[in-house]
């Protein structure tokens, strides 16, 4: 019988409601989370969360001993309080269901996330006691055995500190746990730098469609900050997550941002500057596959014509119709005032 280490289930499940990726209890052991289903509540989430919170609030009434084994760990988790002991045992029953169906908890925590990836390699012997549960957890895989031992160490901290410790994330043994602070530019060089977070929840999804509505003007001799933000959005999909994913991004310029897309001659004439500071980055976005439109109504109202617009930006009848059309085509609308 396979069950998650009881103390981890009892004490280490804080953050359940925000981190569980409910799989509807589908799939089998070792098969990963139920594929094709997004995050959301399952039929047991509310009840399980209530038990988790009760046990966390009463963590000072829980006693725990841990013994490392050559291939795993042996733990005893008990309470002198009959109600706490009963809650521990209730919790074990439902965690057995989650483990056997590969329905993970605490996916935001790297250690828990990694442990759930290897449930098919864990051998467990669970014995109820008068006050709780004794668990022997082993694995023939040395790496998984180290995971079990690291997990047991973290759970001991949960027992000692309760919510304070359970709110933290915990590293996977043997992996580089240093916080990565290096800014990368996977698609647009020199603009819109991002940090790579391959283990984070809510990763960029393939085939996403985004319509970004840019309306704010900027100082004529400086790059419009909204265009810099668009570069960041492009870089997020190009490499800030676990892997690069394709995304279809479109920009529509209107309002104060309309004249940001003028060609060099028209921009110089309008603002008496040496050049249009937006064009270099706009060109890079174009080369990255970003579609760009400018509102023809606003352009005409400002005394300009489509011939004054840089060649890779299309002049639409209006920003309004562009927004309506693209949203009808499945684009998510993202307003970007500045």
The pLDDT of residue 159: 81
Query: Total structural domains in the chain?
Result: 2
The residue among 140, 166, 192 that closes a domain is 166
What pLDDT, on the 0 to 100 scale, is given for residue 42? 65
* Alpha-carbon dihedral angle through residues 168, 169, 175, 179, given to the nearest 10 degrees: -80
Tell whether 184 is covered by a domain.
no
Rounded Cα distance between 3 and 119, Å, is: 9
Q: DSSP assignment of 107-134, as one string? A: TTSHHHHHHHTTGGG-EEEEEE-SSEEE
Same domain, 19 and 158: yes
- Does 203 fall in a domain? no
5-14, 164-173, 275-284: the lowest-pLDDT one: 5-14
Same domain, yes or no: 76 and 137: yes
The CATH number of residue 236's host domain is: 3.40.1260.10
pLDDT per residue over 57-94, tens digit each? 999 999 989 999 999 999 898 999 999 998 888 877 77
Residues 19 and 130 in one domain: yes
178 within a domain of the structure (yes/no)? no
Alpha helices in 236-304 (DSSP H): 264-271, 279-287, 296-301
Residues 152 and 27 in one domain: yes
| Residue 214 shares a structural domain with residue 151 | no
Across the chain, the runs of DSSP E, i.e. the strands, are 62-69, 72-79, 123-128, 132-138, 208-214, 247-253, 291-295, 314-316, 332-336
Residues with Cβ within 8 Å of residue 287, at least 6 apart in sequence = none
Is 24 a member of any domain?
yes
Residues above pLDDT 70, as percent of the chain: 85
In a domain, 187, yes or no: no
Domain that holds residue 228: 208-336
Instruction: Report CA-CA distances (Å) from 206 to 95, 165, 234, 282, 306.
Output: 32, 35, 13, 23, 34
Within a domain: residue 261?
Answer: yes
Is residue 137 a part of any domain in this protein? yes
The last residue of one of the domains, among 166, 196, 226, is 166
- Domain boundary among the residues 116, 147, 166 is at 166
As a 3-state breakdown, the chain gives helix, strand, coil percent values, each rounded to 5, of: 40, 20, 40
Average pLDDT over residues 178-206: 87
Residues 216 and 155 in one domain: no
Q: Are 314 and 252 contained in the same domain? A: yes
Question: Taking 60 as the threshold, does the pLDDT of residue 4 lie above it?
Answer: no
Kind plus residue range of the DSSP H or E element containing 327: helix 319-328
Say if residue 162 is in the same domain as residue 16: yes
What is the secondary structure of 141-155 as a DSSP string? SHHHHHHHHHHHHHH
Q: Is the pTM of this model over 0.75?
A: no
Is 48 a residue whose pLDDT tops 50?
A: yes
248's CB contacts (< 8 A; 6+ apart) are 207, 208, 209, 210, 289, 291, 331
Lowest mean pLDDT among 14-18, 76-80, 270-274: 14-18
Q: Answer whether residue 174 is part of any domain.
A: no
State the Cα–Cα distance between residues 54 and 13, nearest whole angstrom. 11
């Amino acid at each position: 019988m396979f069950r998650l280490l009881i103390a981890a289930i009892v004490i280490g499940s804080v953050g359940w409601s925000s981190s569980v990726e409910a799989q509807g209890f589908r799939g089998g052991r070792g098969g990963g989370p139920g594929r094709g289903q997004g995050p959301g509540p399952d039929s047991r989430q509310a009840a399980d969360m209530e038990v988790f919170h009760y046990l966390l609030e009463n963590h000072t009434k829980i006693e725990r001993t841990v013994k490392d084994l050559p291939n795993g760990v042996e733990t005893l988790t008990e309470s002198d309080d009959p109600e706490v002991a009963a809650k521990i045992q209730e919790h074990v029953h439902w965690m057995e269901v989650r483990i056997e169906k590969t329905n993970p908890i605490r996916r935001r925590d790297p250690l828990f996330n990694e442990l759930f990836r290897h449930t098919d390699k864990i051998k467990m012997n669970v014995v109820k006691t008068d006050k709780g549960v004794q668990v022997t957890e082993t694995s023939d895989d040395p790496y998984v055995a180290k995971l079990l031992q690291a997990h047991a160490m973290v759970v001991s901290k949960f027992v000692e500190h309760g919510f304070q410790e359970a709110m933290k994330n915990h590293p996977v043994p043997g992996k580089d746990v240093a916080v990565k602070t290096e800014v990368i530019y996977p698609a647009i060089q020199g603009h819109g730098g991002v940090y790579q977070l391959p283990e984070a929840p809510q990763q960029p999804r393939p085939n996403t469609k985004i319509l970004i509505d840019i309306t704010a003007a900027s100082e004529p001799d400086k790059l419009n900050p909204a265009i810099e933000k668009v570069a960041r959005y492009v870089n997020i999909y190009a490499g800030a997550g676990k892997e690069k994913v394709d995304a279809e991004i479109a920009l529509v310029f209107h309002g104060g941002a309309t004249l940001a897309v003028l060609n060099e001659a028209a921009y110089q004439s309008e603002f008496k500057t040496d050049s249009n500071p937006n064009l270099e980055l706009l060109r890079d976005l174009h080369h990255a596959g970003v579609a760009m439109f400018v509102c023809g109504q606003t352009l005409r109202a400002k005394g300009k014509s489509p011939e004054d617009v840089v060649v890779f930006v299309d002049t639409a009848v209006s920003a309004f119709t562009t927004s309506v059309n693209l949203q009808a085509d499945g684009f998510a609308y993202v307003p970007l005032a500045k």
